[in-house]
Structure 1
Amino acid sequence: MCKKIFVLLLVFSTQFVFAQTDMLKDFPKGYTPEEVGKRLAYRFVDSKHALHAGKWISYPETFYWNGSLKFAAITKDEKLLKLLQNKFNLLMESEKELLPIKNHVDLNMFGSLPLELYQITKEKKYKDLGMPYADTQWQVPANAKPEEKAWAEKGYTWQTRLWIDDMYMITIVQTQAYKVTGDKKYIDRAAKEMVMYLDELQRPNGLFYHAPDVPFFWGRGNGWMAAGMAELLRYLPEDNADRPRIMEGYRTMMKSLKNYQRPSGMWNQLIDEPDSWAETSGSAMFTYAFIIGVKNGWLDANEYAPAARKAWMVLTHYIDEKGGVSEVCVGTNKKNDKQYYYDRPRRTGDYHGQAPYLWCAVALLEK
């Protein structure tokens, strides 16, 4: 009798977990990842470049492009893929001057884009373009500053800044290089870098200061960290020595984010400040990290699937009729001034916000 009850309880609990996971599959019309992703991805096709320092393709554009490509691939939208590929090919032809140089964490991450194209198309020219961006991130230039050389001597990239933004910028290009080559050195050094950032910047509440000298829990900055850990853990081999530490940091952060989620499903520009405004780019990044965690079994589906669903549903309300995401914090440098983060301008259609929505849409569509 006891054995029969145990079996029934096990079956019920398993079905309940599946039901919770299904919360990330069935959405009403207007909220489906297919609809949302299509609106945002096609918007990018005709959008203007967003240039770094007015010269080179910026990281927000790179991520918007990347998200659109992933969406085209997972939905098998050949028309969209061709439009995106044609737009990119201009960078290898008439727009070569817009290709980022390789001397900064925000520029080297561009390599993740041609490496994504290579994985989709298998055209070698994209791999040849992308790999130097990953390699030069660990090749110390002759004119490197003493502090940059010091980081390199410890096995870290010379581009280390200890800004939490870096933990998506660095990990995305190194992870892509690993996926393309199968060479573990790329994923191993990304993991080593991540552990150092965790040790330096994660606070007891699970969140991250923007930098050691900027003790504020900025939304999108924490979003870069959340998405960066999720992306890295997806591909980091199980036997990697740094994996347990990264998983610990990830789960600690996810627990804190769940506690700070607003009743609406959003998160604030300053996560721990109740009077701060709800910001979309960081909220979408946290949602992405939740979705990936639930789907990979790192997070309890009973707790996190409902939170992820609530967040996705409310995020769709911030998309206008033209596919522009509103309430996006503009590009933000670090500053040891809390009011600075409160006062950051908000924009609609800013690429910082468009990309994370597409990451969520793709993650929801993945099996």
Structure 2
Amino acid sequence: MYNRLQKLNLNKSNMKKTLSLVLAFVLVGMSVFSKNQADKCFKPKEIKKAMIKAAMWQFANPKHELWDWTNGAFYAGVSAAYQTTGDTKLLDAMNKMGEANHWKPGPRLQHADDIAICQTYIDMFRIKKDRSMIQPFIENMDKFLVTPFPVKGIEKITWWWCDALFMAPPALVKLSMTTGDKKYMEKSDELFHETYNLLYDKEEHLFARDLGYVIKGDASDRHEANGKKIFWSRGNGWVMGGLALLLNELPKDYKERSFYEQVYKEMAEKVASLQQEDGLWRASLLDPASYPGGEASGSGFYTFALAWGINNGLLSKDKYLQVVQKAWKGMNSLIQSDGHVGWCQPIGADPKKNFSADSWEVYGTGAFLLAGSEVIKLKK
């Protein structure tokens, strides 16, 4: 009887050990599977697949006038995606957009937003060598250079909001580098410095959204719930994305290049320090607790700009590669099953909380495409 009980206890003990081993193997397997799934998003084939899927969904769900600034950001991403993938559907879409716009900027001569789309016109000209693709932009800018800016309200400078630094400078620098006429990039330098002097916070190394946030007696008392200054994530994402696009064009020996590199590096260090555990950035940079959930457009522009900095030797790989890898994983978590980039804050002039997985905007897709176009070039 004793022997039978002893054998039974031994069997139970062995069974427990076996179950423990099986459970351990399962957990290890799940961990390996999870890691493989996370690493999958860095494979060039998967990056291209994600970019094409997002772009195709966006083409099928158009929004805004094609010359609008929102589409300026989107088609900047489409152009980068084409250069990355070589997919002719992207090239055809850019050509179709340009023809629909008659290769013209938006209607407002002085407004930076209305020339953002011209970045893509120049990209197309560089491929097709068709002068008609950039001639309307040249004529528009020649008129712009001799037309005084009408000061009114808080609009005391031409580019009085930080988003303008994505919309206009890359287009003007590209125009100069394409035509050989430096007058466009020199005007861009002048206006960029004006914006920098009025909106850049040299303590925080971030840009205020516009003059309404810095003019004393107007909105200088604006602060977040935690008492910190308001620095909009996408607004600063526009600036960093614009700096990367601008620096990508500027000659190494250009007189103003060191200024742009300094601003870029200062912002990069600050932005990297504000990344959250999920790899993303919150709508308000200095009060993440008040804005739950990562925001796609700002995060996408940061991912693009930081990856570009690594790829072009401006940022240390040892310091920033982990930041970008974490960010790209986070960006992939925002892509929905149908291909749209969710969790994108809607159009506005400040941080907002009203966005979800169903919230999308064309500039969010553009930011994702720009990010993918640089992440794919990273070397571990």
* Structure 1 and Structure 2 fold alike (TM over 0.5): yes
Matched residues in 2 for 1:319 and 1:30: separation?
A: 17
Match of residue 170 from structure 1: 168
Change (3 A) 1:133 1:36: farther
For residue 299 of structure 1, the aligned residue among 294, 310, 315 is 315
Counterpart residue type for residue 100 of structure 1: G
Q: With structure 2 as the length reference, what TM-score do the two structures score?
A: 0.76
Matched residues in 2 for 1:365 and 1:121: separation?
A: 25
Change (3 A) 1:44 1:124: farther
Change (3 A) 1:48 1:361: same
Secondary structure (helix, strand or coil) at the match of 1:330 reads coil
Match of residue 101 from structure 1: 107
Change (3 A) 1:28 1:107: closer
Match of residue 213 from structure 1: 212
Displacement of 1:76: 1.7
Match of residue 88 from structure 2: 78
Match of residue 42 from structure 1: 56
For residue 362 of structure 2, the aligned residue among 334, 348, 351 is 351
Matched residues in 2 for 1:349 and 1:136: separation?
A: 36
Matched residues in 1 for 2:231 and 2:373: separation?
A: 27
C-alpha offsets along residues 11-51 of structure 1, whole Å, 9 cap, x if unaligned?
xxxxxxxxxxxxxx985569832122111222233332413
Displacement of 1:99: 6.2
1:28-177 matches, within 5 Å, as 28=42, 32-51=46-65, 57-92=67-102, 100-103=106-109, 104-140=111-147, 145-146=150-151, 160-177=158-175
Counterpart residue type for residue 47 of structure 1: N
Change (3 A) 1:60 1:237: same
For residue 319 of structure 1, the aligned residue among 325, 335, 358 is 335
Identity of aligned residues (%): 21
1:148-297 matches, within 5 Å, as 160-203=158-201, 204-214=203-213, 216-275=230-289, 276-277=291-292, 278-297=294-313
Match of residue 364 from structure 1: 375
Contact 1:44/1:68 (8 A) holds in 2: no
Counterpart residue type for residue 121 of structure 1: K
Secondary structure (helix, strand or coil) at the match of 2:101 reads helix
Displacement of 1:131: 2.4
Contact 1:37/1:358 (8 A) holds in 2: yes
Change (3 A) 1:126 1:366: farther
Secondary structure (helix, strand or coil) at the match of 1:57 reads coil
Displacement of 1:320: 0.8
Counterpart residue type for residue 227 of structure 1: G
Matched residues in 2 for 1:260 and 1:363: separation?
A: 21
Matched residues in 1 for 2:210 and 2:105: separation?
A: 28
Larger Rg: 2
- Name the count of aligned residue pairs: 319
Displacement of 1:126: 0.7
With 101-110 and 29-38 compared, the bigger mean Cα shift is at 29-38
Matched residues in 1 for 2:42 and 2:84: separation?
A: 20
Matched residues in 2 for 1:133 and 1:281: separation?
A: 29
Matched residues in 1 for 2:180 and 2:375: separation?
A: 26
Gaps of 5+ in 1: 1-24, 152-157, 335-340
Displacement of 1:280: 1.0
Displacement of 1:351: 0.9
Q: With structure 1 as the length reference, what TM-score do the two structures score?
A: 0.78
Contact 2:75/2:117 (8 A) holds in 1: no
Matched residues in 2 for 1:245 and 1:254: separation?
A: 14
Matched residues in 1 for 2:370 and 2:62: separation?
A: 21
Counterpart residue type for residue 178 of structure 2: V
Contact 1:134/1:173 (8 A) holds in 2: no
Secondary structure (helix, strand or coil) at the match of 1:183 reads coil
Matched residues in 2 for 1:82 and 1:342: separation?
A: 35
Displacement of 1:238: 2.6
Change (3 A) 1:287 1:271: same
Secondary structure (helix, strand or coil) at the match of 1:173 reads helix
Is 1:308 aligned with 2:307?
A: no
Contact 1:195/1:246 (8 A) holds in 2: no
Contact 1:113/1:130 (8 A) holds in 2: no
Contact 1:31/1:316 (8 A) holds in 2: no
Contact 1:230/1:292 (8 A) holds in 2: yes
Matched residues in 2 for 1:29 and 1:237: separation?
A: 32
Contact 2:162/2:208 (8 A) holds in 1: yes
Contact 1:45/1:87 (8 A) holds in 2: no
With 195-204 and 213-222 compared, the bigger mean Cα shift is at 195-204
Contact 1:175/1:190 (8 A) holds in 2: yes
C-alpha offsets along residues 179-198 of structure 1, whole Å, 9 cap, x if unaligned?
32122222233233323322
Change (3 A) 1:112 1:132: farther
Contact 2:173/2:249 (8 A) holds in 1: yes
Matched residues in 2 for 1:187 and 1:303: separation?
A: 32
